[in-house]
Amino acid sequence: MIKPYGAGQLMPLYVADEKERGTLLNEAENLPALEVSSAVAANAVMLGGGYFTPLAGFMDRQDALHVAREMHTANDLFWPVPVLNLTDSFAVKPGGRISLRDPGTPGTPVLAIQDVERVEALSDEDIEIITRNVYGTTDQTHPGISAFMSLGRTLVSGPVRVLNHSYFELDFPETFRTAEQIRREIAGRGWKKVIAFQTRNPMHRAHEELCKIARDAVSADGVLIHMLLGKLKPGDIPASVRDAAIRKMVELYFPPNSVMVTGYGFDMLYAGPREAVLHAIFRQNAGCTHLIVGRDHAGVGDFYGAFDAQAIFEEQVPEGVLEIEIFKADHTAYSKKLDQVVMMRDVSDHQEDDFVLLSGTRVREMLLAGEPLPPEFARPEVGKILMDHYQAG
């Protein structure tokens, strides 16, 4: 199987030994407590699940700025996005330990224990450097920047021991999987070549067919449909609805044992190209050999060019650093001329009217009005799940 990123073996920071975990939970009751944000809790969950291999915890200011400017940590590990524990002012001194409390679970239970190596304040200049380089803009209407700016300016860095997977394991028991669990299932299925599809949305016909086109193009044994289960921007479809819609599509329209439907506990950054590289690291750590990177991957609004998330792999990712390979996809849509879903780059003789194209706004309008989506755009069973959600809303 493909090696984890930057390490000989996966490095999940979740404490799997029940006795050791119990001891740490008891210790945590007497430690200074920090109730973290949703974004920081999601970082802890990803550290626990091995997705952030080979990181040992939260980055300090030096690493955060190195990663933002150069896509490398201070010790020269290639990494695209700072992984931070940012909070408001917090009265704790370096050298101690703290418990991180989970904001997403009733009672704010202990999520992790962190050894505090440094407590540093980020300046306005630091924030500008991070936002401009990671997100490509400082525009605070960008939802990723808006979320980042709300986290605070105090940076608490150091290694962590993760003690649970927040609400993800409880709310999505059939879907949430750590990188370690996905690797085990891939091995159990006997798959050697696996192509991953990242999604934060329900999957329409175009997404379904893209997975099939990419699977055939790289001769993959199977497809990992890997959905983000964490926090999105307002107006996006909830994870539970996306999960149900994707599972129905796979059940009815993919061959048996050809797809794994899984999810991971992370909040969307909407960081476009930088986040696409992070997605590749996630999937390499999960055991995938290929990742589909499509048009405006991980983008939002008009902040990124249509294929910036593909170009970054050629222009800024050093050769040989990643073992996972990128399948570059174009926008995919149903061709009225050919009576099938195609990638637009493959049909140069087509005009816009030759495709079945619906904007997100138009899709929402149709579903709210109880109007079925065209079968060329969405499978009827998927459309019904989405319509039930909007009608109930």
H or E element in which residue 49 lies? helix 38-49
Residue recorded with tokens 């060329």: 376
Rg (CA), the chain: 21
Question: 101, 200, 242, 274: which one is catalytic?
Answer: 200
Rounded Cα gap, residues 163 and 157, in angstroms: 18
Question: 118, 132, 201, 364: which one is catalytic?
Answer: 201
Distances (CA, A) of 248 to 102, 208, 333: 32, 12, 20
**Residue 241 phi/psi, 5° resolution?**
-70, -45
Question: CB–CB of 73/79 below 8 Å?
Answer: yes
Is 200 annotated in the active site? yes
Q: Please give the structure tokens belonging to residue 252.
A: 């009815």
- Nearest by Cα to 160 from 285, 263, 275, 48: 48
Cα 72 to chain centroid distance, Å, stands at 20
Q: Please give the structure tokens belonging to residue 294.
A: 């499509």
**Residue 70 phi/psi, 5° resolution?**
-120, -5
Is 201 annotated in the active site? yes
Active site residues: 200-201
